[in-house]
Structure 1
């Protein structure tokens, strides 16, 4: 959110307006006082000192990107002023004439602007998010002080940027030096819990059985999922190479199926690291959508975009969010090169696609997240995917932290600079991950029953709960020659690394040796999802009893035949007769 402050001046001398702005030195003290409900009282105390003897200001205009302001009060010294208010897009313009004319060098004009707004502090569940826009002005600012005052019962501070100059009890003070022309972002509370209820509709138009899948919100580096109930139960839940959870259903001929899913989503501020080193090569390749090998990308000096922050800034500075396109069909996806050619035709998918393409071009693994984002103000934080009003944002892989980092260039753009690069709020719920293709799998909200008009995605905050650990069941299912078939089941509602909830799968273990005859009892140790399981197993011999009996019978028959032949040979003696 960017506040742009203008001075409108009348000059008694024939001074040029362009040079007149430098004839004032201004001090700002801005206080943001947040109450227990999130209502924020904002007060600007402004002191403007004349640097010339015959130049003074007659009007003042303040533009703020708050769309909801209440109880506006303007005072020239102590005299109330009735201001004009004009709302344009996301900007509220406050204009007023000065009553007092302060003339003379080193003379100071003091005035104040005060209002209440719900656009600064937002409470979602047990977490408070505070975003204060940066101050942008053409004036010569001598001193700028920003005070953020919060209630004493706020949760623990887990993030603030920039760092405050001073903290006194529940008051955070920022100076011109510490602000460095940046917005202020703060997060109080490290975990967030949501109850997510989604509906899916599947239809088999064939005259034979047909297998179909739906995508369930999965675990990510930021989120952990508990399936409370899914009805009807799927045949299985599998994980694809991107980590999506795909529930598998077998539909009978012409069958129509309604599926209801209830989940608890736990979001955390600090992302979890990956176990081991994942294969990231597929997240560097160009695709039809992320077409960084197209001619448009040759026009960009990619060498200047050396890190994720610079790529992020390039995207937020280059594209313009187009609110008229919010309802467009999200499946009619444009390319990243299209966004470079048409920067004013952007919604969240365009911001995401350009970030992913530029990241991959710079050898930075990146992919797309589609999901749900809690937004208290859809002008400042728009949700662009149609259907059930979903959202899209990118993530990149940080090799030093060995984890995926999610960012939201769309909201940084639409809020005029709020930091969604270093701090993703605890309001972004991932439904699907797109790393190899931007269409499948479709997220929840896209499996619509054409006969119903109700929402398919319903999200609400809920109290924190303890997630039960996954109950992984491992057993030897059978032996096929030199291979043991191991059954791995997870009947619980939580996942264990790459083993989804309510899933079953098989793995193979090759035997190094087997007895020729007779069973042998051994133990086999297998590692599954980071845990080791020691299983007793009865190894079948190479020769099974039936085969052994057949061989023995054959040998016995051969032996009998040989003995008979020998006997027959020995019973014939030569006879000699003498006369």
Structure 2
């Protein structure tokens, strides 16, 4: 786990005093002074919105290192002449507050500060009782909080949770002041009212509903470097093939492999977009696969990376996602869509405060039965199950979450496989309005006290594997372990940059043979990606009037260091002559860029009539023809010998 910051969540209570005296007595008491009023009135609980207006202007001044000076300016206006407030309290979701100060006018109060497991309570009495309709009580609460903002690599994130009892607030204004070099936020929910430059600081102002938290990201991309180890072994007495999952590209994640050692025997992209690498392990052998990776996360999706297709299996019931179960179906029936499913999940479950190494993955049904035993897996499994019960395609993302506060943004994917490496899980659903998979994090949405992780995910979630067609497979990096005391196999840190690279490919053609015999017209084509990046939309062309025929189509992407082999032939669209010998110019394009050229001379070109004849069929025809010719030759030879014997007998 790595990344987190704590945010305040305000709640309050007050003692309200109600006066049931005649106007004459009231006038007398005012003549004696307000202090007498509280002594003779009976405290009575009343609704704040009936008797008071609450206004709050909050200012968050963030230092370059992320420490935040918070100042709350409260104004409470009496709506009736018979009530007043004499005590106030705030509960803030941080245990790291310093320099707490409470002021009423020029008077500094001494608050009672109580620090609990996950929060700090600031309580204080007002020295004067403000009584009278339209009278206003104004006071300021300020403190330093290192958990409001987090500076991580190239990005600063500021998050303000919603206020408790938000309906009581008539006006709620938030100003976030940040160092000027950052500029306005790249992404913010809700949308700010305005930006300005005040006292040399960038000021972002929100005039919003108090029930809505604020999440602002300064910086549109984040860079990471990963060191991944995959220990593999084969205890059997025969060689085997095994697959491991390398972190893939996603629309918001671009990866570059500086090193993969050893390189895999082959690559495959599965139905969910996972990058599966195949290795051959010798009998009774072991292998350590090492990868050094750079990752770039972006807020906006990369249009060159195609989203994974939506499959029927993405709405099917599975062991940990029992969407067909009657209890799951009944709960889902009351929910209108993904937003309500997210809200239900965050409200129904509670994150378990202490994670035991022996804690097992519960699945959605058991999570509902034990709602206080949830980890990120249970939040994820419940959301996916409810979504699938509504026929909404949903999948599980497993990977690494950058956090510095385990209480506010916990990670802890529980599995006996993981042991010393700590991963995180979060769901995504297919959004039909954007035709994109939309990632969310209900775990952090709950543990941060209401920060919006539905409409906007941050730059802290690195995807290692995608579980959609299966609720378990493929396994992510960090889950490959050997022995009873496995060591840590993933290391993640921030990177200063992400490499700017261009595609580099090698093309090679070799005559195709059937046994020792070269077959004119067909060639073995080998294309090798020389870089550690994936390249999309490959296209192989040649100049007219020639056209190409591939026995196996090009993949939709070339994965890092991948080698692709197929059988190629070319035919002349304007000619019917047989097996012309000429030059062939090949051009490979990726992402609409010409990247590699190859010229083969001489090259036997097939006639147009044979353009659909692939090598497999041709080899079968040739082999069959050879057999027929051999049989014919043998028959002639045998008949010739018989005739020779017959002539000798006649002579």
TM bucket, shorter chain: 0.7 to 0.9
- The DSSP-based 3-state class of the residue aligned with 1:136 is coil
**Which residue is 1:128 aligned to?**
156
Give the direction of change, closer, same or farther, for the CA distance of 1:479–1:58 in structure 2 (3 Å limit): farther
Which residue in the other structure is 2:205 paired with? 173
Q: 1:312 to 1:522 in 2, by over 3 A?
A: farther
Instruction: Give 1:270 shift.
Output: 0.9
Cα pair distance change 1:411/1:140, threshold 3 Å: closer
Once residues 276 and 93 of structure 1 are traced to their aligned partners in structure 2, the CA distance between those partners, rounded to angstroms, is 46
Aligned to 2:535: 496
2:7 matched to 1:5? no
Partner of 1:230: 260
Q: 1:487 to 1:348 in 2, by over 3 A?
A: same
Distance 2:131 2:531 in 1: 76
* 2:223 is aligned with 1:193: yes
Q: How does 1:313-328 map to 2 (within 5 A)?
A: 313-325=343-355, 327-328=357-358
* Alignment partner of 1:289 out of 303, 312, 320: 320
Match among 250, 259, 266 for residue 280 of structure 2:
250
Aligned to 1:357: 385
Q: Distance in 1 between matches of 2:180 and 2:524?
A: 59
Residues 1:403 and 2:433 are matched in the alignment = no
Aligned equivalent of 1:162, options 190, 200, 204: 190
Q: Which residue of 1 aligns with 2:526?
A: 487
Question: 2: distance between equivalents of 1:276 and 1:527?
Answer: 23
1:458-510 C-alpha deviation (Å, 9 max, x unpaired): 11111123342343445456367898654343232111233321223444669
TM superposition shift of 1:50: 2.9
Displacement of 1:132 in angstroms is 0.9
- Whether the 8 Å contact between 1:237 and 1:501 is mirrored in structure 2 is no
Q: Unaligned stretches of 5+ in structure 1? A: 569-579
Q: Show the 5 A alignment for 1:529-544.
A: 538=604
Q: What do the CA deviations read for 1:556-579 (whole angstroms, capped 9, x no partner)?
A: 979x98xx99xx9xxxxxxxxxxx
Say which is worse superposed, 455-464 or 535-544, in terms of deviation. 535-544
Q: Compute the displacement of 1:415 (Å).
A: 0.6
Distance change in 2, residues 1:24/1:401 (3 Å): closer
Q: Equivalent residue for 1:212?
A: 242
Deviation at 1:290, TM superposition (A): 1.3
Residue among 133, 148, 153 paired with 1:105 = 133
2 CA distance for matches of 1:212 and 1:239?
Answer: 15
Counterpart contact for 1:523–1:534, Cα < 8 Å: no
When residues 526 and 355 of structure 1 are mapped into structure 2, their CA distance, relative to the original with a 3 A threshold, is: farther
**Contact map agreement 1:517 1:543 (CA 8 A) in 2:** no
**For residue 115 of structure 1, what is the aligned residue in structure 2?**
143
Q: 1:15-94 to 2 correspondence within 5 Å?
A: 16-19=44-47, 22-94=50-122
Judged with a 3 Å threshold, the aligned counterparts in structure 2 of structure 1 residues 529 and 139 are, in CA distance, closer, same or farther, namely closer
Query: Does the C-alpha gap of structure 1 residues 208 and 95 become closer, same or farther in structure 2, counting only changes over 3 Å?
Result: same
Going from structure 1 to structure 2, the CA distance change for 1:379 and 1:327 (only over 3 Å counts) comes to farther
Closer, same or farther: CA 522–437 of 1 in aligned 2, 3 Å: farther
Check the 8 A contact 1:26/1:139 in 2, yes or no. Answer: no
> Residue 572 of structure 1 corresponds to which residue in structure 2?
none
**In the alignment, is residue 299 of structure 1 matched against residue 330 of structure 2?**
yes
Q: CA deviation at 1:3?
A: 2.0
**CA–CA distance in structure 2, aligned partners of residues 20 and 492 of structure 1:** 64
Gaps of 5+ in 2: 1-6, 19-39, 537-556, 607-614
Distance 1:364 1:87 in 2: 43
Q: Deviation of residue 301 (structure 1)?
A: 4.9
Q: Is the contact between residue 229 and residue 290 of structure 2 (CA under 8 Å) also seen in structure 1?
A: yes
| Structure-2 separation of matches of 1:488 and 1:50 | 78
- RMSD (Å) for aligned C-alpha atoms: 3.6
TM-score (structure 1 length as normaliser):
0.85
> How far does the alpha carbon of each residue in 1:183-237 deviate from its partner, in whole angstroms, 9 at most, with x for none?
1111111111101112221121112222222222111111111111123333333
| Mapped contact 1:316–1:410 kept (Cα < 8 A) | yes
State how many pairs are aligned.
557
Task: Give per-residue Cα distances to partners, 1:138-172, cap 9 Å, x unaligned.
Answer: 77433222111111111552211112223222212
Spell out, residue by residue over 1:340-397, the C-alpha distance to the aligned partner (whole angstroms, 9 max, x if none). Answer: 3332221111111122222222232221110001102110000021431110011122
Question: TM-score scaled to structure 2, two decimals?
Answer: 0.77
Query: What secondary structure, in the 3-state scheme, does the structure 2 residue paired with 1:6 have?
Result: coil
Give distance in 1, aligned partners of 2:50 and 2:358.
47
Specify the alignment match of 1:418 in structure 2. 451
